[in-house]
Amino acid sequence: MDLRMFIGGRWVESESGETFEATNPATGAVLARLPQGTREDARRAIAAANAARDRIAGLTPWERSRLCLRIAAVMERRQEELARVLSQDQGKPLHTEARSEIASAIEGFREAAEHIKWLETAVIPVADPHKRVFSIRQPRGVYAIVTPWNFPFNIPVEYLAPALAAGNAVVWVPAPTTSVCAVKLAECLEEAEVPPGVVNLVTGPGPVVGDEIVAHPGTDAVGFTGSAATGTHIAARAAGKPLLLELGGNGPTIILEDADISRAAECAAFGCFFNAGQVCCATERILVHERVHDALVDGLLAAARQVRLGLPEDEGTTMGPLNNQPVAEKMDRHLADAREKGAEVLFGGQRAPGFPTDLFYQPTVVDRVPEDSLLNTEETFGPVVPVLTFRTHEEALAIANACSLGLVSAVFTTSLRHAHHFAEKLRTGIVCVNDHTDYWELHIPFGGVAGKRSGVGRIGGKHAILEMTDLKTIAMDVR
């Protein structure tokens, strides 16, 4: 199957004529051939977006709301097709994860359609009796959007829906390993009659087409979800532009001595194994009080044994393969480092044999993880449960906050006082109390904390629309 890019409302090849193959991570089968975009292709897309920016900005909020609802309706009609493409292209289980991601993406457009209609601004009291001052929200212009492979429908929608609702044009570069999903989403936009040039899709390598759109003077603002290292590079290349960056996390989950251990183990394991751990807000490390360590580990091992690693379209599968070799190699490297430093692998710990590709990784539980291990200091992004032990609450906070990443954390306790204390002291943008770090709903503000490398700004509901608009103040003399 040969697919194309979407530029200026037309499906086009790369100007170079070159292509790359998209493969199923579970089977190795070739799914499609896609255009290998170039910098010239990216510039064509930027020109198309600039030609269309006034058209989308000129629509009323109610008209843009109806546009988002049309997109949602098209996606809903194609829901099963999109879920199957997602499962094949990304590798997540069809029955337990892919279908729910598509449902969430559909809801993302519906929520944006509502939020934009009720986004009120202020009339501002002033000292001058002859002045009336008020504010309005206006689109920023042309957004450069770069999205990752772990949620190839939902994460793009987290940017595309508020961008369109707010009246921005978009140039979008998806991750190469899930670009088939991107093409299918672009098909839905076309079918919903998004005006030509308002959303432009360029497929190809991030260091080429992604770099071009974030650095080019023809884009006015940048949205990116991905690793902290790439986000830092993008911020430098896009210097001076408004940035909305949702970057990596190393989600610490703290289990206090008074916690409900059964629930804590269940939630922590879910946070580690959901989407095979390939989530920016995954439970990346578990800090447990020494008094309840053994009971928690028993619960984590029981949860790991319940994971059904298998082909994504099989009905009994609860965890599929990792998406690509670099993330699997990172798992290998982090586990090797932990073993060398004295950690004990209690369950799993290697790639699973007997599958069509070597991207299937065993659900893994590692105990006695040293503080200087990569499992504790870096984002692993795989199906691993690293367990560290602490004696005092101050020690737990010190270990949790020492990491340079600060996206999402969790604390389990039955004490309201402890819950508030940890919620206020943990250096993350989000703190979940008595739930896993993967908890989020589409309208909730989501992002990192200042002083860490987990990004700037907030995605989610009206918060993304606020980020993707300029606040203009208008002062009128009424004499």
pLDDT digits (tens, 9 = 90+) for 437-449: 999 999 999 999 9
Give the pLDDT mean for 54-60.
Answer: 98
pLDDT digits (tens, 9 = 90+) for 322-339: 999 999 999 999 999 999
Estimate to the nearest angstrom the gap between the alpha carbon of 439 and the chain centroid: 13
Is the pLDDT score of 120 beyond 90? yes
Alpha helices in 179-226 (DSSP H): 179-191, 211-215
Q: Which residues are catalytic?
A: 246, 280
Q: Which CATH architecture has domain 252-442?
A: 3-Layer(aba) Sandwich (3.40)
* pLDDT value for 107: 98
Give the SS3 label for residue 154.
Answer: helix
Q: What residues does each domain of the chain span? A: 5-247+456-476, 252-442
Q: Which of 374, 338, 159, 381 is nearest to 249 (CA)?
A: 381
pLDDT digits (tens, 9 = 90+) for 362-385: 999 999 999 999 999 999 999 999
Is the pLDDT score of 67 beyond 90? yes
* pLDDT value for 454: 98
Pairing mode of beta strands 285-289, 384-390: parallel
| Topology classification of domain 5-247+456-476 | Aldehyde Dehydrogenase; Chain A, domain 1 (3.40.605)
* pLDDT value for 1: 87
* pLDDT value for 428: 98
**What letter does residue 98 receive in the DSSP assignment?**
I
pTM for the full predicted model: 0.97
Which backbone phi and psi does 6 adopt, to 5 degrees? -120, 105
Sheet containing strand 199-201, strands side by side: 10-12, 5-7, 199-201, 169-173, 142-146, 221-225, 243-246, 455-456
Give the pLDDT mean for 452-462.
Answer: 97
Amino acid in position 372: D
Amino acid in position 183: V
Give the SS3 label for residue 64.
Answer: helix
pLDDT digits (tens, 9 = 90+) for 374-422: 999 999 999 999 999 999 999 999 999 999 999 999 999 999 999 999 9
Give the pLDDT mean for 46-57.
Answer: 98
Is the pLDDT score of 191 beyond 90? yes
pLDDT digits (tens, 9 = 90+) for 237-295: 999 999 999 999 999 999 999 999 999 999 999 999 999 999 999 999 999 999 999 99
Q: What is the mean pLDDT of the chain?
A: 98
Identify whether the C-beta of residue 454 lies closer than 8 Å to the C-beta of residue 247. Answer: yes
Burial class for 450, CB neighbours closer than 10 Å (0-12, 13-18, 19+): exposed
